[in-house]
């Protein structure tokens, strides 16, 4: 899979893309990442990528010409999305990552800055808007990195133990269960006895109960959605 990052700050991605599972996946050729700077496509002597909004207002907007030119300079693979990172976009979630990982050959990610981008970028260039959450950050590179990471880790070969992808949080509509490792006792706090019993059926039941209870306590919205899905499946 090919990732194209349209960013004013390519250096932002240098360390994250060389670290951990992401770095290993890129080294193995599971995906490729390319950074393209809109500033390289400006035509004025100051390489200006922003300007004042028509009608007045606070702050500056990213100009359309450099963004269009940067995206149009890229090769076009058969299955492609051009995504704009913006607080106004659809919230990212595991289902979004799964869909993109399973259906795309190329993901182009436009990193916004300043007060946003000229609306013509939204209307005529990008195919989807995504958000990290209901808050505002200083740049689009942070959510872009989250999107890249979330999609890349689902590509075959990135995670060695693919079973782990099936049992983690959100995959079954529930949060993950509590997990423990050695020592069995730490500062008087014990690992639950059932996990040390060797009874795999009992462990499985305990884990499922913990998933349900944890989701109910921490994310009642997910719990309600999970319950609705169960009712739908039984009708």
Q: Residue positions in the annotated binding site?
A: 112, 132-137
CB 197 within 8 A of CB 162: no
Under DSSP, is residue 67 helix (H, G, I), strand (E, B) or coil?
A: helix
CB 90 within 8 A of CB 130: yes
Of all helices (H) and strands (E), which one includes residue 20? Answer: helix 20-27
* 55 Cβ contact list (under 8 Å, min separation 6): none
- Alpha-carbon distance of 37 to 19, in angstroms, equals 22
Q: Compute the C-alpha angle 38/39/44, nearest 5°.
A: 125
Q: What is the DSSP string of 119-179?
A: HHHHHHT-SEEEESSSS--S-SHHHHHHHHHHHHTTSTTSSS-THHHHHSTTTTSSPPPP-
Q: Which residues are annotated as a binding site for S-adenosyl-L-methionine?
A: 112, 132-137
């Amino acid at each position: 899979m090919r990732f194209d990052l349209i960013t004013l700050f390519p250096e932002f991605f240098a360390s994250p893309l060389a670290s951990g599972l992401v770095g290993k996946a890129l080294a193995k050729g599971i995906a490729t990442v390319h950074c393209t700077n809109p500033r390289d496509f400006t035509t004025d002597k100051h390489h200006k990528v922003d300007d004042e909004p028509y009608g007045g207002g606070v702050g500056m907007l990213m100009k359309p010409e450099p963004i269009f030119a940067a995206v149009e300079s890229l090769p076009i693979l058969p299955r492609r999305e051009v995504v704009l990172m913006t607080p106004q976009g659809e919230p990212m979630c595991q289902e979004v990552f799964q869909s993109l990982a399973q259906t795309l050959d190329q993901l182009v990610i436009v990193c916004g800055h300043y007060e946003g981008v000229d609306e013509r970028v939204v209307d005529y260039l990008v195919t989807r808007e995504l958000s990290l959450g209901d808050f505002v950050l200083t740049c689009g590179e942070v959510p872009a990195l989250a999107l890249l990471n979330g999609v890349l880790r689902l590509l075959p070969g990135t995670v060695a133990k693919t079973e782990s992808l099936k049992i983690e949080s959100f995959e079954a509509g529930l949060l993950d269960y509590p997990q423990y490792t050695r020592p069995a006792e730490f500062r008087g706090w014990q690992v639950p006895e059932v996990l040390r019993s060797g009874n795999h059926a009992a462990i499985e039941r305990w884990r499922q109960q913990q998933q349900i209870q944890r989701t109910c306590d921490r994310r009642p919205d997910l719990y309600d959605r999970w319950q609705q899905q169960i009712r739908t499946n039984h009708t």
